[in-house]
A and B are shown apart, each in its own frame.
Chain A
């Protein structure tokens, strides 16, 4: 990379700093920077899904039909109780095997099914997971786990919208659906945003678990870059530098937190437009 820079800049930097610059822009480091995309995709897509599952869960929790309420309550109770690491390990594996089982029922011969001892049940039923498939599963897993938290937050926020307003809207002749979307959901954001910002922070931090799903994310690359190396053949020779790379990850996550706070303040101000204030 440094060969792209003008000579005067390199001589101004001096040999040491030029070497540092060359080091932090070598292919291995560029791969590290590029792997940031997985963290960001997982965070944003995961958050969008979490919001979706959260809204659905919250709607179910206050549904008139009892079975829907059971599903909603079951979802928030069960999923919130499972550590996210476990869920991330369990869900994709269970999903993969369920799909493979379903394929096996369709493509394997009955003899193969009867005599199968290992997994998959026959070679044709093997589902090779691509990188994109793992990313999709990571996003869905994050969506499911944090959707359960979001559902609880949104459920509480929906309850916080004054009942009188809903009754008034009903009296004006709005349908149940209109009351829900235009009055209740429209106003619940003010109450939900502080809670949702907490959920977002948790989700953001959980993106450091992506490597559990064979995704080469920023943590994996930080590990690789920081690992001690004594072989010139492999690359720059250095001792255990993992702490340096972990420190960069610390700073990245703190920066993301600061930006998120700013973003949520803006959202809060926007959601509060035209709302009556008690003070």
Chain B
């Protein structure tokens, strides 16, 4: 590449930078868009779900202008740290492991047991699981848990998206899938008996919170104040009940 083209590219970059500098006050919310009912792309092609509605309500409560950014799950923390967006709302459990790199707001969804599913009629003895293929979404609490508990004698297969674990389970390539109970419940109900819960429930990680960079103390305080107001007004409980089949209330007075 010669100097002129390099200069031209730098110029384009500089111009687009000036354009985006004015938008610096906007809060950018990162989400996955592939984890119904937390966050998903609906049939209108728009982002929707529990966290999308909650995030919009939160931004209204703290009088901030917000913008959603869709990012793949496996790079959602690195891209937060790199500054592509300011906060993560993507069904992310608060864990000590994650707290090493990012910080979390107060939870907006209490801890929910993780569960196993399998194709109907599958018998699995979870006390002595051996030679089985367990599907998890990569970089999740389930991936870490399954690796630690069953990794030695079983094969843990991790996928980019949660729905890919389902697809591979139904294709017969997996014996079981470990995921959030709240994610799996509507799937088991909607599968017309094809998929069933098996084995024990596991309590892994904490509740779900908003992930932020560690130096964003201002934003952290703002988000917590906003969440507290929405919990008090009953908005959070209302949205949980709406998206999670009447669950709760958890935060009401």
A residues lining the B interface (CB < 8 Å): 26-32, 53, 56, 75, 95, 99, 103, 118-120, 123, 126-130, 132-133, 136, 140, 144, 214, 216, 223-224, 227-237, 239-240, 242
Contact = CB atoms under 8 A, between A and B. Distances in A.
B170 A239 contact: yes
Interface in B131-169: 161, 163-164, 166-167
B215 to A, nearest CB: 8
A228 B166 contact: yes
Interface stretch (B38-46, B122-130, B201-209, B226-234): B38-46
A89 to B, nearest CB: 11
A233 B84 contact: no
A237 B190 contact: yes
Contact of B36 (A103, A140, A233): A233
B37 to A, nearest CB: 6
B66 to A, nearest CB: 14
B12 A234 contact: no
Nearest to B162: A227
B84 A229 contact: no
A27 B44 contact: yes
Contacts, number: 105
Interface of B: 1-2, 9-10, 12-13, 16-17, 19-20, 23-24, 28, 33-34, 36-37, 40-46, 48, 70-71, 81-84, 161, 163-164, 166-167, 170-171, 186-187, 189-191, 215, 243
A29 B17 CA distance: 32
Contacts of A129: 84
A28 B187 contact: no
6 contacts: A95-B9, A128-B24, A133-B12, A216-B70, A233-B37, A240-B171
A28 to B, nearest CB: 4
Nearest to B8: A140
A230 B84 contact: no
A28 B37 contact: no
A127 B40 CA distance: 27
Contacts of A26: 43-45
Contacts of B170: 228, 239-240
Contacts of B2: 56
Contacts of B12: 133, 136
Given A224-B34, A227-B34, A228-B166, A128 B43 contact: no
A39 to B, nearest CB: 17
B42 A118 contact: no
A133 B16 CA distance: 7
B19 to A, nearest CB: 7
Contacts of B19: 130
B84 A242 contact: no
Contact of B41 (A28, A99, A136, A144): A28
A28 B16 contact: no
A228 B195 CA distance: 13
Given A28-B43, A216-B70, A240-B170, A232 B190 contact: yes
Contacts of B41: 28, 224
A228 B166 CA distance: 8
Query: Which of A32, A128, A239 has the most chain B CB within a 10 Å cutoff?
Result: A128
B187 A227 contact: no
A236 B189 CA distance: 15
Contacts of A234: 36-37, 40, 42-43, 48
A242 B161 CA distance: 13
Query: Which of B9, B12, B45, B170 has the most chain A CB within a 10 Å cutoff?
Result: B45
A227 B48 CA distance: 16
Contacts of A29: 45
Contacts of A120: 83
A79 to B, nearest CB: 10
A126 B43 CA distance: 34
Given A118-B81, A119-B82, A128-B84, A235 B42 contact: yes
A231 B163 contact: no
Given A119-B83, A224-B33, A230-B187, 9 more contacts: A99-B13, A136-B12, A214-B71, A224-B34, A227-B34, A228-B166, A228-B167, A229-B163, A233-B243
